[in-house]
């Protein structure tokens, strides 16, 4: 049985924030706590981003599936809900990425987050305007590359994380990256409580980033019925698959994923082509823009043409489940940590609880 926000006692931080929790990430992002809510398509909207910011963490608005006009509206909506720093997650391979960066600069956004490593000149453009640049990476060599290009911090996601992910677990990847670069490192993949925050700090990280845990809050726009599907799952109810868009991503073992994995390659490509048509109509994108974006994906990520076509699957399948509530048709990205989550707090309750738990662990270890 899940516990919604406000049902039963909650744990809140007492007294000043322990010095161990006042990390380089707090100063860099301008936040109270070293806790990041990751940018998740169809999930990290203005409400969730602002709620995280108001609770003392870094909220990140997802822009990868928004048009330029929708992004401008969403930034205004975050601004209307909070006066605290927040970030925007961009896709470096979008044709209008430089225009989007200009929008972030003019809107006074604090952090430019990138799902994949941006090109060096984009990093320079952001930093010249005072944006904090934070790409997400899944391998040490990628962290070393973007650190040499001048990024301010990196989010390091281990293999147990949700969505597109690698094969190295956080417990191995995180210390590897911490030892390789001298910028703040944020750990992601498998975090959901104060114990995990302290563990990440012990590895040398400057904080933690969470996706699934923030998805499962009352501030998340995901439909209650979809959240209940997530809450019913165990740590063994996820699958790492290439069959959605051609590259590995971790999703719930639910909905249509079993059918997709059993479908022949030809039928998957036909479905993907249909989804490309539907996504073009939904997003208002021109075919020329989609072709340019596909070429950038192919070149930047060394994809085959079949993988590029399959990439049209993900937005439509995520939309079906997360926005339309069709858990029977869509797919739902998740980390394995989903099996350890059993309630739906608000962002304020969640962050307060994590900080209080972390403080208690630190006290216990100190004793």
- Same domain assignment for residues 218 and 241: no
- Same domain assignment for residues 285 and 358: no
Token pair recorded at residue 251 = 């999703």
Calpha distance 356→18 (Å, rounded): 10
- Same domain assignment for residues 278 and 172: no
| Consecutive H or E run containing 278 | helix 265-283
- Same domain assignment for residues 176 and 260: no
Left, alpha or beta for 203 (phi > 0: left; psi -120 to 50: alpha)?
alpha
Q: How many CA atoms lie within 13 A of 138 on its CB side?
A: 17
Supply the pTM of this predicted model: 0.85
- Same domain assignment for residues 13 and 147: yes
User: Does any domain span residue 12?
Assistant: yes
Secondary structure in 3-state letters for 84-131 = CCCEEEECCCCCCHHHHHHHHHHHCCCEEEECCCCCHHHHHHHHHCCC
- Same domain assignment for residues 113 and 214: yes
Calpha distance 291→95 (Å, rounded): 10
- Same domain assignment for residues 103 and 217: yes
Calpha distance 321→204 (Å, rounded): 37
User: Does any domain span residue 85?
Assistant: yes
Q: What is the pLDDT of residue 94?
A: 86
Q: Which residue has the higher pLDDT, 119 or 272?
A: 119
Q: Find residue 309's DSSP bridge partners.
A: none
- Same domain assignment for residues 207 and 247: no
27-57 pLDDT per residue, tens: 999 999 999 999 999 999 999 999 999 999 9
- Same domain assignment for residues 219 and 286: no
Statement: residue 142 has pLDDT above 50: yes
Q: For all residues of the chain together, what is the average pLDDT? A: 86
356-366 pLDDT per residue, tens: 999 999 999 98
User: Does any domain span residue 88?
Assistant: yes
- Same domain assignment for residues 244 and 108: no
User: Does any domain span residue 331?
Assistant: no
Contact 102, 127 (CB under 8 A): no
- Same domain assignment for residues 179 and 89: yes
Q: What is the pLDDT of residue 287?
A: 47
59-95 pLDDT per residue, tens: 999 998 899 999 999 999 999 999 999 999 999 988 8
Q: Phi and psi dihedrals of 239, rounded to 5?
A: -140, 140
219: three-class secondary structure by DSSP = coil
Contact 335, 162 (CB under 8 A): yes
Token pair recorded at residue 156 = 């390091």
Calpha distance 124→103 (Å, rounded): 16
**Using CB atoms within 10 A of its CB, is residue 14 exposed (0-12), middle (13-18) or buried (19+)?**
exposed
Q: Phi and psi dihedrals of 358, rounded to 5?
A: -65, -40
User: Does any domain span residue 334?
Assistant: no
CB atoms within 10 A of CB 266: 9
Q: Which residue has the higher pLDDT, 146 or 316?
A: 146
- Same domain assignment for residues 140 and 288: no
Query: Measuring CA to CA, how many Å separate 142 from each of 31, 54, 90, 156, 157?
Result: 26, 32, 18, 10, 12
Q: What is the dihedral of CA 104, 110, 116, 122, to 10 degrees?
A: 60
Q: What is the pLDDT of residue 45?
A: 97
Candidates 96, 97, 80; CA nearest to 135 is 97
User: How many domains are contained in the chain?
Assistant: 2
Q: What is the pLDDT of residue 363?
A: 95
Query: Measuring CA to CA, how many Å separate 101 from each of 4, 121, 227, 255, 297?
Result: 37, 12, 33, 36, 19
Q: Report how far apart the first and last C-alpha atoms of the chain are (Å, whole number).
A: 35
| Poorest-pLDDT segment among 3-12, 185-194, 304-313, 344-353 | 3-12
Q: What is the pLDDT of residue 367?
A: 63
100-140 pLDDT per residue, tens: 999 999 999 999 999 888 999 999 999 999 999 999 999 99
Contact residues for 210 (Cβ-Cβ < 8 A; gap 6+): 35, 36, 37, 38, 188, 191, 192
User: Does any domain span residue 336?
Assistant: no
User: Does any domain span residue 257?
Assistant: yes
Calpha distance 122→217 (Å, rounded): 33
User: Does any domain span residue 337?
Assistant: no
Range of the domain at 49: 3-223+343-366
The CATH number linked to 133 is 3.20.20.70
Calpha distance 340→240 (Å, rounded): 18
Q: Phi and psi dihedrals of 24, rounded to 5?
A: -60, -30
């Amino acid at each position: 049985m899940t516990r919604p926000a406000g049902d039963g006692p909650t744990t809140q931080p007492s007294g000043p924030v322990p010095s161990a929790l006042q990390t380089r990430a707090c100063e860099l992002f301008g936040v109270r706590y070293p806790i990041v809510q990751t940018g998740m398509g169809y999930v990290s909207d203005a409400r969730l981003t602002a709620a995280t910011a108001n609770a003392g963490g870094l909220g990140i608005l997802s822009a990868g599936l928004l048009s330029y006009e929708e992004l401008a509206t969403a930034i205004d909506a975050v601004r209307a809900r909070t006066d605290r720093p927040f970030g925007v997650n961009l896709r470096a391979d979008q044709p209008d990425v430089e225009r989007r960066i200009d929008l972030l600069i003019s809107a006074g956004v604090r952090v430019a987050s990138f799902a994949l490593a941006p090109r060096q000149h984009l990093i320079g453009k952001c930093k010249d305007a005072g944006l904090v640049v934070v790409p997400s990476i899944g391998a040490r060599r990628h962290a070393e590359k973007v650190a040499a290009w001048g990024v301010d911090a990196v989010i390091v996601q281990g293999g147990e994380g949700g969505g597109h992910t690698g094969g190295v677990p956080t417990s191995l990847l995180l210390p590897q990256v911490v030892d390789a670069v001298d910028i703040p490192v944020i750990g992601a993949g498998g975090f959901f409580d104060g114990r995990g925050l302290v563990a990440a700090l012990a590895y040398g990280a400057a904080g933690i980033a969470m996706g699934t845990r923030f998805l499962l809050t009352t501030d998340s726009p995901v439909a209650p019925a979809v959240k209940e599907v997530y809450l019913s799952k165990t740590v063994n109810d996820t699958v790492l698959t290439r069959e959605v868009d051609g590259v590995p991503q971790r999703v719930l073992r639910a909905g249509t994923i079993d059918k997709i994995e059993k479908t022949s390659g030809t039928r998957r490509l036909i479905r993907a082509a249909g989804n490309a048509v539907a996504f073009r109509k939904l997003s208002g994108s021109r075919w020329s823009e989609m072709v340019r974006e596909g070429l950038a994906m192919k070149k930047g990520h060394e994809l085959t043409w079949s993988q590029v076509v399959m990439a049209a699957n993900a937005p439509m399948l995520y939309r079906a489940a997360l926005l339309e509530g069709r858990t029977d048709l869509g797919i739902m990205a998740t980390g394995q940590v989903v099996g350890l989550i059993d309630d739906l707090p608000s962002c304020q309750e969640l962050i307060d609880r994590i900080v209080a738990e972390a403080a208690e662990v630190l006290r216990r270890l100190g004793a």
